[in-house]
Amino acid sequence: MTDTVSASKQLVGRLRAALYDCDPEQLASQLSALLSDDCAVRLPYPIGDVSGGKGLLQSGFEPLLAAIPDLERRDYIMAGACDRGEDWVACGGYYTGVFEQPWLDIPPTGHVVTMRYIEFYRVAGDRIVEAKLLWDIPALMMQADAWPMAPSLGVEFNVPGPATQDGIIEGTSDADTSAASMELVNAMVEGLGRYAQGGSEAMQLEKYWHPKMNWYGPAGIGSNRRIEGFRKWHQIPFLNAMPDRSSDTQNGVYDCYFADRDYVFFCGWPGMKATVTGDGWMGISPAGQSLQMTSLDIWRCENGLIRENWVMIDILDIWKQVGVDVLQRMQQRTMQ
């Protein structure tokens, strides 16, 4: 039997290598060779959806390279699996370089910057045929001192890779370890769903999360440590604002959801639905607005508990859905 997942990891590895070097003279041909012409590419707001390597280059990497000429990709997680008959490869890491020219009207800093990402690629044959790339644009705005919205409740910092330094998983997986990781994360997600029945205590987070857990949220929410920190700086404000939230990990509507050894990956574009009520969220006034959240997750399991969780949400798209143009507010603040 052909190991298509290992071959898919190798193919995405060629993309990772191309973006590590990020040579403008070669990138067009490299992307063309790796992505199908009709590859469905999703990028964060305000960039949007494009097709093929040409679309990804013109809308994604060419403008970014114009702003950060020495752009470099740093992966600290790469894994894959066959999910519902499709080969998926997931990556986590950050783009870095010196921010020299404006990008999306974000003013340059003249200093090194970092922009986190979680990206998912579906491979068929010898091409990437679908790509979901979520970049933490608000993090770049914060580094440029241009974030015009409410401050994060959590901590904003350069989020690290796995503590175990084992996130790049090439070749074949371990079926038993992967199954155990998926079972643990599924049980945790089911626990989160018990909030409506008995509040935070009904979730029994202590059964699933390590006492020294780290939750790495997107810029605008921030990161936190330990269950106490997770509840205080993210979960309680989130649930108070949107008690009716529903995750697509629970209803089976998502792009992919798989495990590779100690890591579990979820891609939902969108991946959650909610209504803003209570006292609002992230500074959003509660007016019963319905939201769909693009939500990408990576969990790392350790000795039967979840120890690290990298989370990406398209924060700018959430603000757009409630009628606020964050980039326009940024322009007003920076007088552009």
pLDDT 10s digits, 190-218: 887 665 555 566 578 999 999 999 999 99
Please check whether residue 151 lies inside any domain of the structure: no
| pLDDT surpassing 70 at residue 142 | yes
| pLDDT tens-place string over residues 15-73 | 999 999 999 999 999 999 999 999 999 999 999 999 999 999 999 999 999 999 999 99
Q: In this structure, is residue 65 part of a structural domain?
A: yes
Q: What percent of the chain has pLDDT above 90?
A: 81
**H-type helices in the chain, by residue range?**
4-21, 24-34, 52-56, 62-67, 137-143, 175-192, 195-203, 226-230, 236-241, 248-251, 315-321, 326-334
Task: Establish if 165 belongs to a structural domain.
Answer: no
Q: Are residues 329 and 181 in the same domain?
A: yes
**Mean pLDDT computed over 178-182:** 98
Identify the pLDDT of residue 335: 78
Residues 321-331: what's their mean pLDDT? 95
Q: How confident is the model at residue 1 (pLDDT cuts 50, 70, 90)?
A: very low
Q: Do 214 and 125 belong together in one domain?
A: no
Q: Identify whether residues 243 and 304 lie together within a single domain.
A: yes
Assign 152 a pLDDT band (cuts: 50, 70, 90). Answer: very high
162 assigned to some structural domain: no
- Asked if the structure places residue 148 within a domain, the reply is no
Q: What's the gap between Cα 267 and its chain centre?
A: 8
Query: Do residues 51 and 123 share a domain?
Result: yes
Residue 169, in any domain of the structure: no
Quick one: 213 and 315 in the same domain?
yes
Res. 279 pLDDT band, cuts 50 70 90: confident
Q: Identify whether residues 62 and 123 lie together within a single domain.
A: yes
Residues 133 and 202 in one domain: no
Helix (H) or strand (E) holding 268: strand 263-276
Query: How many domains does one find in the chain?
Result: 2
Q: In terms of residue numbers, what domain contains 313?
A: 175-334
Residue 327 pLDDT exceeds 70: yes
The reply to whether 71 and 119 lie within a common domain is yes
Examine the domain organization and report whether 301 and 223 are in the same domain. yes
Q: What is the pLDDT of residues 60-118, one digit of tens each?
A: 999 999 999 999 999 999 999 999 999 999 999 999 999 999 999 999 999 999 999 99
Residue 184 in this model has a pLDDT that exceeds 50: yes
What is the bridge-based pairing of β-strands 209-216 and 127-135?
Answer: unpaired
Taking a C-beta distance cutoff of 8 angstroms, is the pair 295, 266 a contact? yes
Asked whether residue 328 carries a pLDDT value surpassing 80, the answer given is yes
> What CATH number does the domain containing 307 carry?
3.10.450.50
Same domain, 133 and 209: no
Per-residue pLDDT band at 248 (split at 50, 70, 90): low
| Together in a domain, 190 and 240 | yes
One domain for residues 184 and 295: yes
